[in-house]
Chain A
Amino acid sequence: MKKARINPQITTYVDRLLQGKTLLPESPENLIEVVGVLASYGIVLDAYSKNLIFIADQQFLVLFPIFKYFNGEINPSKILRYFWHDRINYEYAEYCMRTMLWHGGGGLDTYLDSDVFLTRCRAAIAAKVRGNLLMRSLNRLFPDFLPEQVRQLAYYSALGQFWRIMSDMFNDLADKYDQGKIQSIGQVVEHIKAGLVADAATPITYAVNIDGQRYELIPDSAGLTFLPDTAIPYVETIFFRGTPFFGTVSYNAQAQQISPDQSRFDYGALYADPIPIGGAGIPPTMLMQDMRHYVPDYLHQLYQQTPRGEADIRVQLCQSFQKSMFCVTNAALNGLLPFPKETDNPEEQTANRKFLSEWVERLMDSRLDVVQIV
């Protein structure tokens, strides 16, 4: 049988990764872009994380959560600022959460479909609907509706906890850069990898208080942890798969423009086109809009040197963000390598190469080739 030929570009990238080099080329501009954008992303993630956890904890089965973005602080000036749209676009966080819920994957997804969860979930629902005729009727008429809402709230909490860790990691990265401890893309990747590994076993749990009683929906005993149950599904969902809707391009499902196989979707952050084409309410644009408020001075200076200055800052932020996400992907791949990359064992080397080849092959249609242009 004839062996399938491997794309030489894949081999090049795999070799590069095995040699300890990075997917994103080393350059002073790339370093400023990546660290600068992650610094602002860290601040935004902090806000997203707090809000997701607030919604999961405090807006539990609130059918009309009109003040869910207020984090419990409701006053006229905040309402006015909200309508003036002087606020963080928390919708983006929800968009990511729903995308994760839709694609599933990881231990969280499996756990939420288990009977153990359903039992815990029904107990919490029973407590919540007690004394509420509307909710009780709703639950009787549509018994799957409220459990599905709780599953979604579990994702709110899980993503909030994931981003809490990532936010701290990026803020720490920015601090180290300011102290002169980060001077290359390789060090950025290493910092992220170290963070992922350090927090790999951090438990992901979720509990709510109803009438003074604590209901553990994802207990410690479920064994869900940061890396396999939130980080990997997040990378798969947000970086790779994404969604063919909510984007700037209209896809025609009838014309077979969308793969019927969800696992083959490639609409994620690593594939996104930063050039907007006039769509409205685009989630990535919302993220860039949020990040632009927290761009550090050194990144501002870099953007100001471009022909359009900062008039196209959201596009530039998107480009920088994409570069940074390749660094995060790079760190995740390094962290997930089945064997140490320095191994001399040929079988382990082959296993490493196979692991990386499969991932890099998926990156062949991404913007990896574009970010190579320094």
Chain B
Amino acid sequence: MLSALLWIPLLGALIIALWPSPLSSTRVRVGALVTLAITLGWTLYLVGQFDVHNPEFQFSEYWPWLQSLGLSYRLGLDGLSLPLVCVNSGLGLVAVYSSADTVHRPRLYYSLLLIISSAVAGAFLAQNLLLFFLFYELELIPLYLLIAIWGGAQRGYAATKFLIYTALSGVLILSAFLGLVWLSGAASFDYSSTLAQGLPLAQQVLLLGALLVGFGIKVPLFPFHTWLPDAHVEASTPVSVLLAGVLLKLGTYGLVRFCLGLFPTAWLALAPWLAGWAVVSVLYGSLAAIAQTDMKKMVAYSSVGHMGYILLACAAASPLSVIGTVFQMVSHGLISALMFLLVGVVYKKTGTRDLTILRGLLSPERGLPLIGSLMVLGAMASAGIPGMVGFISEFFVFRGSFVVFAPQTLLCMIGSGLTAVYFLLLVNRAFFGRLTITAEPPEPPIDPMLPEVSWRDRVPALALVALIIAFGLQPGWLTRWIEASSFQFVEPPQITAVAPPALLTDPPTPPRR
């Protein structure tokens, strides 16, 4: 069943790429849309079949691929990967839907998008370390090409930088996996939370360190983040949506699944340092975002900050904070995708993302009032305003982490305040005031006119907003899938220390006096 999530988009990519007769861009786009709609439909079917009370991997599939190497085709779905698979399917569809009709070399473009969807799904489902690595690397080349071919003016530089950083990330992850299996003497690379149990702490710390840097590049965390703003600025809007919404989550997923999941003892030893790292990343990302004048760079740096919350919650490793990590991944996926979509529309209509130039885009009739309103809503969601998914995820993260790392959590909460600062700066600069799209006010003051925004540009953003509000008002619709599996990553003593009774499957009976 799970294989379908990999093979449907891959098959779609192959059909589009190898179709014998010429295909118009619109037809290719429709083909890709249908493929991803089927994938999303299948994902939702799996959601319906998923047993929320079972913390183990479900719908498991196994095929001994290269037994001599320890590589097997082992897939499984649990509460950690299920929401991310859904986000991947959903945002893949959004990315294709929001792609321009006139994209050049459409067959290659849409094939690459479909391959990414397939590879990311594979990475989230893989229960073999080598298989995960293969999928992790498989998304690298399509994304490189998407930036290098369909990117902006500095696309070559940005794509190469992305390639080098992410390739290094892959090397470190592979080294850690190889080291783990060889040192532990395991017969295969199959995922097991007990793989590192017999290793001395020093070896565990060394392997965990390699994984942390590897996934830290992908997340990205300070100081490995520098590829991200460049990649976002040069990437087209659909690619930015995928990059921020889905691909960064491979890094955070890796932190939970492989760092916390495989090395709980070493993780516990390093946790205070990791929490400190999270603080630096959050504050650096937020302060850097404040300094930006490019809307896309601002959103990109906000990602650096918000990914820091995940590291903090991961470091705390309490039941609530682990739920917070998954919630924050979904929340960030939806919100950042929304923000990049909206910035994309602004760029498409005004030809610039420069905050020193844009003014008054909320202007009714001539400006982008709905896009501006959605941007205000996205900024509110990102800043953690109640009623939206951002509030719930940050509440889980901070509430779950505070009992373990109080000072670090408080410092990270400053980052949440800073989110309001930079997004309000963005909204205030670009959306309020008189409509202007020139650096110097023209003399005489001409009345600018922006092209009308079509419903095609609005629909994906509205869909994301609906989800952001729905999960903000009903977080239980998301936590119910995560809850059981998240306890697998928590050390038993900490469960009773920090988890609120409502979140435990079997709340402890209070002692009678």
Which residues of A come within 8 Å of B, CB atoms?
Answer: 273-278, 306-309, 311-315, 319, 367, 369-370, 372-373
CA distance in complex: A277, B449 (Å):
13
Q: List 12 A-B contacts (CB under 8 A).
A: A276-B365, A276-B366, A277-B432, A277-B433, A306-B449, A307-B452, A308-B366, A308-B450, A308-B451, A315-B365, A315-B366, A373-B446
A276 in contact with B364 given A308-B452, A309-B452 (CB within 8 Å) = yes
Q: Which of B360, B433, B444, B451 contacts A373 (CB 8 A)?
A: B444
Whether A275 contacts B444 by the Cβ 8 Å rule is no
Whether A275 contacts B363 by the Cβ 8 Å rule is yes
Whether B365 contacts A319 by the Cβ 8 Å rule is no
A270 → B minimal CB distance (Å):
13
Verify if B161 is at the interface (C-beta below 8 Å from A).
no
Q: Which of B369, B432, B435, B452 contacts A275 (CB 8 A)?
A: B435
Number of A-B pairs whose CB atoms are under 8 Å?
Answer: 56
B367 → A minimal CB distance (Å):
8
CA distance in complex: A327, B435 (Å):
27
CA distance in complex: A273, B365 (Å):
14
Whether B446 contacts A312 by the Cβ 8 Å rule is no
A295 → B minimal CB distance (Å):
15
For B431, give the chain A residue with the smallest CB separation.
A278
A308 in contact with B363 given A273-B434, A275-B434 (CB within 8 Å) = no
Which residues of B come within 8 Å of A, CB atoms?
Answer: 360, 362-366, 369, 432-435, 444-452
Q: Which residues of B contact A312 (CB under 8 A)?
A: 365-366, 449
A311 in contact with B446 given A273-B434, A277-B435 (CB within 8 Å) = no
B442 → A minimal CB distance (Å):
10
Whether B444 contacts A370 by the Cβ 8 Å rule is yes
For A274, give the chain B residue with the smallest CB separation.
B447
CA distance in complex: A319, B434 (Å):
16
| 6 interchain residue pairs of minimum CB distance | A369-B444, A312-B365, A370-B444, A315-B365, A308-B452, A312-B366
Whether A319 contacts B447 by the Cβ 8 Å rule is yes
Whether B447 contacts A275 by the Cβ 8 Å rule is yes
CA distance in complex: A370, B443 (Å):
9
For A273, give the chain B residue with the smallest CB separation.
B434
Whether B444 contacts A277 by the Cβ 8 Å rule is no
Q: Which residues of B contact A369 (CB under 8 A)?
A: 444
Whether B366 contacts A275 by the Cβ 8 Å rule is yes
Q: Which of A311, A367, A373 contacts B365 (CB 8 A)?
A: A311
Q: Which residues of A contact B433 (CB under 8 A)?
A: 277
CA distance in complex: A372, B450 (Å):
21
A277 in contact with B365 given A308-B451, A370-B445 (CB within 8 Å) = no
CA distance in complex: A373, B444 (Å):
9
B5 → A minimal CB distance (Å):
41
Q: Which of B434, B445, B447, B448 contacts A277 (CB 8 A)?
A: B434
For B451, give the chain A residue with the smallest CB separation.
A307
Whether B362 contacts A278 by the Cβ 8 Å rule is yes
CA distance in complex: A273, B366 (Å):
13
A315 in contact with B447 given A275-B363, A275-B366 (CB within 8 Å) = yes
CA distance in complex: A278, B445 (Å):
19
Whether B451 contacts A275 by the Cβ 8 Å rule is no
CA distance in complex: A309, B365 (Å):
11
Q: Which residues of A contact B448 (CB under 8 A)?
A: 275
A308 in contact with B449 given A273-B434, A277-B434 (CB within 8 Å) = yes
CA distance in complex: A306, B366 (Å):
12
